[in-house]
A = this chain, B = another copy of it.
């Protein structure tokens, strides 16, 4: 193409900078002022004449100057970013929570780091460490079900931390939780009210805080109704289809079979819904955790819904309160759950 030459397209995307970023010095030089004056203009500080302000703004635009917050942060000790460490950003509950955190941070013009730990302690610690190395101003964490006393050194260094969804063991931090015990109680009571006396419980392993809480709620409902607790109807473990299938089968094979089912969290609910026995022998069912399409299932699912958006927003607000100077003992906020009645709890 002789005679024609378009710059950007000629060599493709550059491996390195073609136009190095302008600094405050370049701006100052172009505007004919001192660097401090540029700083003042950038940060909207007073005591700059209108004339110089305009000159600086013009130079900023011309050079496409973008202040380096990393340098500013180094100088004044804050990054205007917070970190969110969760188990898995791809999981609907947690991604909704993340969205709410992001929203609150964004209103301040702050940015959010997200990191998924897969509920693995080592990964979690590496990520917290990595976040701390970037000097985030605060941390929201959905703690893995293990000891968290390692967070104490961060706390001592002045890093505010908020735990969300589960409490963090071994460390005193602000905390936002769902009312899982009460939610489970209401959900199970819903079945009991329909005359059931044998309700199977399928949930996470007992070392998971939320599993314990929800099982406690299950027992509350039972004892409220004067129904004896029978451990042979309780099935706790990893949320796989095989395990769910096994649980369903055992509940049915029981000398006094289960006539209803309560699943303790979304993953176990999903596993259960996919177990062959579930389709073959549908039984009245209430699930903990809302599912995206729960209303559209073959048998619309009655659920105890949490409110991840409120939890995320609350966690972020607790964090920002600390950053704004709130002192005092760790706060604990309990977000209520809500029973959403659909069809699945009724007898077929």
Contacts and interface: CB of A to CB of B under 8 A. Distances in A.
A92 to B, nearest CB: 7
A297 B329 CA distance: 47
Interface in A142-171: 152-153, 155-158, 160
A310 to B, nearest CB: 13
A299 to B, nearest CB: 8
Interface in A292-346: 292-298, 322, 325-330
Contacts of A11: 327
A83 to B, nearest CB: 8
A281 interface: no
Interface residues of A, number: 80
Given A69-B134, A96-B90, A98-B89, A172 B13 contact: yes
Contacts of A133: 66-69
13 contacts: A13-B160, A13-B172, A19-B158, A64-B153, A70-B70, A74-B74, A89-B89, A89-B114, A95-B95, A102-B115, A112-B113, A112-B115, A293-B296
Given A13-B160, A90-B96, A112-B113, 6 more contacts: A66-B132, A68-B135, A70-B74, A81-B134, A106-B127, A293-B297
Interface of A: 8-9, 11-21, 64, 66-71, 73-74, 79, 81, 88-92, 95-96, 98-99, 102-103, 106, 109, 111-116, 123, 127, 129-135, 152-153, 155-158, 160, 172-174, 270, 273-274, 291-298, 322, 325-330
